[in-house]
Amino acid sequence: METGDPRNSVPPGRGAPFFGFVVAVGVLAVLVSAGPLARLPDRLPDLPAAFWTMAALAVACDARPFVPPGRRRASAVFPSTCFTFAILLGWGLGPAVAVQAVAVAVSGWRLGYALWRTGFNAAQYACALGAAYLVTRLGAGDLFHGGQLHWAEVAAVGGAAAAWFAVNYGLVTTAIRLRFGARWWPRVRLGLGYELLSTGSLLLLAPVLIAAARASAALIPLVLVPLFAVYRMARLSTEREQLAALDPLTGLPNRKALLAEVAEQVHLHAERAARGAPDAHLALLLLDLDRFKHVNDALGHAVGDRLLVEVSARLTGVVGEGDLVARLGGDEFAIVVPRLTGTDDARELADRVVAALAEPVPLDGLPLDVGGSIGIAIFPEHGEDFVTLMRHADVAMYDAKHRNDTVAVYAAESDHNSAERLSLLADLRRVLEATPAVAAEETPGVRGGDGAALAPAPGLAGPTRNGRALPRNGGRAGGETRPGDESGRWRLRRRERVEAPHDDELINRIVANADPIRRRAGRDAATNEAVAGLHIDGPPVAGGTDDPAGDPGEITMYYQPQIEIATGEVVGVEALLRWRHPRRGMVDPGELIQVAEQSAVMRLLTRRVVNDVVGQLAKWSAAGITLRAALNVSVRDLHTGEIADQIADRLAGYGVPPDRLQVEITEGALMADPRRVLASISQLHRIGVGIALDDFGTGYSSLQHLRRLPLSEVKVDRSFVLGMVEDPDDAAIVRSMIELAGALGLRVVAEGVEDERTWRLLHAAGCDIAQGWFHARPMPAGELVAWLARYRPVHPVAAADAEGQRQHPRG
């Protein structure tokens, strides 16, 4: 008899081995129980009322077994196990097998099992009872002597119960393996604990039942009370598990249920793919609502909750019968779509979801527009497990948001959080921690807001021992130490002290453990330190010396001159960060900042830049070179408010006047959080540090912000300057910016000046300062000094008179 129960069928290609096993178990059951069953008719008149009572209860209870809801439970709970095992202990194998077969037939009929399945269940129980009976016969014979149960007999009963469970569960496990192939173990493992608790409780109740039967058959029905209690506890436990898998607001499955569903569907679709079925694709759609925060802020969370309930209703109404809609939390939903032929099917469903959400939601008479961004990940193209599919769907969803689109399918080029990026972030932290001695010495208790250790300014208190200051390196370059130098040994031990792990250190460990080269390098370094007894001269080298994979490279500062157009004098430089990676070469500065800005490493990077730039200004001042240096800071730096304290600390430590330093902020940083950014900028302004607005014209600055900010300079973005000669519109835009800044009393710097015609156009427009390859490329500090010695100022008017004859020096 075939029913809709999927466990009544066997996947194509597995029928022969599976049904061969079923037949083999049936034959074994016949061999085990044929003799005792043949002798049973002669024993029936002698069986007591206790036996018939147990037999009747076994059949009656199995007429309504407890079936756990869901598809992931190993099996139903059959109370007949308690009675048939008790019959085995009291009256032997034949009566137990006969009663169990009748109970299985009744339960199979009630549950709609196929005929082969009912037969297999009867056979597996017969084999289990036969194994238990064999264990009891290995004992001293009759288990009960005068109604008493001794320790040896208790051990025999326990061994019989263990044998029953091992044989029964082993047969079921083998059948599952033959049916599901290589993915059988997760199902068996998930069901083992449940089977041990439910079936084990029934088996251990059997000796208590048979002991009561020896006293009086009237005591046997009393076992229904604890059986009912077990039944109720199992049902309540199942209901709690169901509730734990549901979102309390919308009633949809939650993340836990989504994980279980995807895990099972991945298994089923892997089987389909192995058979070459065309519908072997599984789609995971991740939906994030747009503008939901505005609803919460404007109308309150109660209205927001009602909106989420309405959205969940629309989602469940638009998906198919076999699809799963889950709420992950907040305004995020997920949809699992099985049995697809490709990406186009998933896109079609995503388009239907977008159309369903396009209709306004009326709440309290106010129509609320609800939209969303959907990311799609497909099995097996984009991942073969829940974690990978979920991450890739999330990447696609944010890709859709950034492109102002509604639907996006995962693309590897959109994944900015790849293992390569994590490795790059870990290397960046390592190279920042391997700073020169003047920047790397730590003062206990000096830490940034992210917990990262920060270096003190030169001249501040250094490390101490027993209340006495330890000697510094005496100005030796690069933190060089001599053999026996106490300072070098102290610094090495300081680096080995256990400190609270940071997020990025954990990422570093994950990447290192996943990379066999890094892992081997780490082991070799640890071995070398152990052999050397940790007596190492000079600063430690991270990641080993010969393995390039363990070398994080070198971070240096380059400086590009800024030329006053009217006089041709060099009035300042812009400090630009450069990272030479051992495997990737020069890392693109934009990628470097993008990697660092979203992590705590950004503060370490800013600390390093501030220290290097201010220290370089001090060196130039000592050499008689007076320049103003501009450095860039990130949004993260301005939001924390620590940047002003760091700069003030360095300026005081190096003795550099504040007006020799200028901080550049972008329009994007300004608009991210104007209140906090304004507070940090105002504090820098009070110190005396100049403020420049970088990339002017590319963001969202308004006259309101320009009027309120204590700016001293604006920098016209190179995208406009580069096109001045060929594009009249760009030239008009640049002239307008210069006039606007001049009216506000701000100095104007033009970036991207790469030819003389642009230089002269900027002079005619009234621009103050030029920066670009026309004068010099960015260069290290040492090369800049040599370039300054060669440089000769040229005035735009003089250049116009001698046009075509002058050869301007370039860096």
Relative to beta strand 747-751, strand 769-771 is parallel
Residue 724 to residue 694: CA distance in whole angstroms: 19
What is the radius of gyration, based on Cα positions, of the chain?
A: 39
CA distances from residue 403 to 179, 346, 400, 420 in whole angstroms, order as listed? 46, 19, 5, 24
* DSSP bridge partners of 327: 333
Burial 598-619 (b: 16+ CB within 10 A, else e): ebbbbbbbbbbbbbbbbbbbbe
Relative to beta strand 585-586, strand 570-581 is antiparallel
Residue 7: DSSP 8-state: G
Question: How many CB atoms neighbour CB 284 within 10 A?
Answer: 31
User: Which phi and psi (to 5°) does residue 315 adopt?
Assistant: -65, -45
For residue 459 the two structure tokens come to 């001249």
Question: How many CB atoms neighbour CB 533 within 10 A?
Answer: 7
Phi-psi region of 329 (alpha: psi -120 to 50; beta: other; left: phi over 0): left
Burial 684-697 (b: 16+ CB within 10 A, else e): bbebebbbbbbbbb
For residue 430 the two structure tokens come to 């390592």
Amino acid occupying residue 331: D
Residue 515 to residue 171: CA distance in whole angstroms: 42
For residue 617 the two structure tokens come to 């200004």
- Given 441, 505, 713, 751, the catalytic residue: 751
Residue 256 to residue 324: CA distance in whole angstroms: 13
Residue 359: DSSP 8-state: S
CA distances from residue 19 to 14, 32, 76, 559 in whole angstroms, order as listed? 8, 20, 22, 78
Q: Is 264 among the residues known to form the active site?
A: no
For residue 253 the two structure tokens come to 């499955």
Q: Active-site positions?
A: 751
